[in-house]
Chains A and B, each alone.
Chain A
Amino acid sequence: MPDIFISPPTNKATNTTESPTQKKRSLLGKTLSAYLFMPDDIRFETQEPGETIILLLRKHWITNLLWLLISGILIVLPLFLFPALTLYVTTPTIPVSLMTFFILGWYLITFSYIFVNFLLWYFTVSIVTNERIIDIDFINLLNKKFAETRINRIEDVTMRTGGFIRAFFDFGDVLVQTAAKEVQFEFLAVPHPEKVVRTVNELMGKTEEGGE
């Protein structure tokens, strides 16, 4: 594991050999990743000067499977439903304007559903910096929960995983116990929980060394 207090090496030689398509794909993959180690292009609202993001975590992509499946069905369904309606419902004939409206309305609502679910996933993040742990939870569109604690106030870090899917896709919950009033920080369904625990423990060790 790389030392989190040393900035990651920039491999310029390999970057120059990447094609534009590959670069675009890796940038998209990096942007939509659920586990980002020392991301240099992300900032958060309360970031202090000199504070570096060590880890940025989102829920594992597999947790989005249900709404992705529903979205897929919602996208595909009119392709079968509306031709069937025009074929079998002949009396009374459905006006073209009504049909167009149904299609427009259907896809508008489908897009709203996809967009809201994506936003809730993308902006619900847990951040580990060299100074703090921050948990930003968007419970729904209108409710946000923000919690933070200093690294030196952390008492215990544990991980919880289990079940076939979690083991197969390597994700689980990381629980951070603090000395502060907030009883526990919960990073739910994050990828590579053992790496997260190791990183936080390493940070705690460095902070203790620095404090002594």
Chain B
Amino acid sequence: MPADDFITAVFAAAPYFLFKLFTVILLLLHLAFSAVLTRQTKLMTTVVEAKISPAIYAISIIHFLVSLFVLIWAVLFL
């Protein structure tokens, strides 16, 4: 079966599954981005140490956790 016929067949058979697959891939990429963001925030807060530095780092960790939560939610409920 040619590739484009196969893709058309998959889209016709399970459009919702494909949507979920792409969504999960995007959320995985976002999770990787939030991990990098958390790491970079840690580095930034060591370069310039201010009173709110721990709070900023805590926000970056919360951001990572929320990102993970959305990914898990999408896998389970979408």
Binding site for B on A (CB under 8 A): 27, 31, 41-45, 97-98, 100-101, 104-105, 108-109, 111-112, 115-116, 119, 122-123, 125, 136, 138, 141-142, 144
Is A105 within 8 A of B70, CB to CB? Answer: yes
CA of A178 to CA of B67, assembled, Å:
46
Shortest C-beta distance, A100 to chain B (Å), equals 8
Chain B residues near A112: list those with CB within 8 A.
Answer: 30, 33-34, 37, 63
Number of contacting residues on B, CB 8 A? 28
Shortest C-beta distance, A209 to chain B (Å), equals 30
CA of A104 to CA of B67, assembled, Å:
10
Say if the beta carbon of B36 comes within 8 Å of chain A. yes
Chain A residues near B46: list those with CB within 8 A.
Answer: 45
Interface residues of B in 12-70 (CB under 8 A from A): 23, 27, 30, 33-34, 36-37, 40-41, 44, 46-52, 56, 59-60, 63, 66-67, 70
CA of A104 to CA of B68, assembled, Å:
12
Shortest C-beta distance, A91 to chain B (Å), equals 16
A-B contact pairs, 14 of them (CB 8 A): A31-B51, A31-B52, A42-B50, A43-B49, A45-B46, A97-B77, A101-B73, A101-B78, A104-B73, A112-B33, A115-B60, A136-B47, A138-B44, A141-B37
Shortest beta-carbon contacts, A-B, top 5: A123-B44, A43-B49, A45-B47, A42-B50, A41-B51
Shortest C-beta distance, A151 to chain B (Å), equals 20
Binding site for A on B (CB under 8 A): 23, 27, 30, 33-34, 36-37, 40-41, 44, 46-52, 56, 59-60, 63, 66-67, 70, 73-74, 77-78
Shortest C-beta distance, B20 to chain A (Å), equals 10
CA of A105 to CA of B20, assembled, Å:
13
* A31-B50, A97-B78, A119-B56 given; A104·B70 CB < 8 A: yes
Q: Which of A44, A108, A122, A125 contacts B56 (CB 8 A)?
A: A122
CA of A144 to CA of B48, assembled, Å:
13
Is A45 within 8 A of B30, CB to CB? Answer: no
Name the CB-closest residue of A to B46: A45
Chain A residues near B56: list those with CB within 8 A.
Answer: 119, 122
Is A115 within 8 A of B78, CB to CB? Answer: no
Is B48 within 8 A of A119, CB to CB? Answer: no
CA of A101 to CA of B27, assembled, Å:
11
Additional A-B contact list (10), CB under 8 Å, known A101-B78, A111-B66: A31-B52, A42-B48, A42-B49, A43-B48, A44-B49, A97-B78, A108-B66, A109-B30, A112-B34, A138-B44
Shortest C-beta distance, B6 to chain A (Å), equals 26
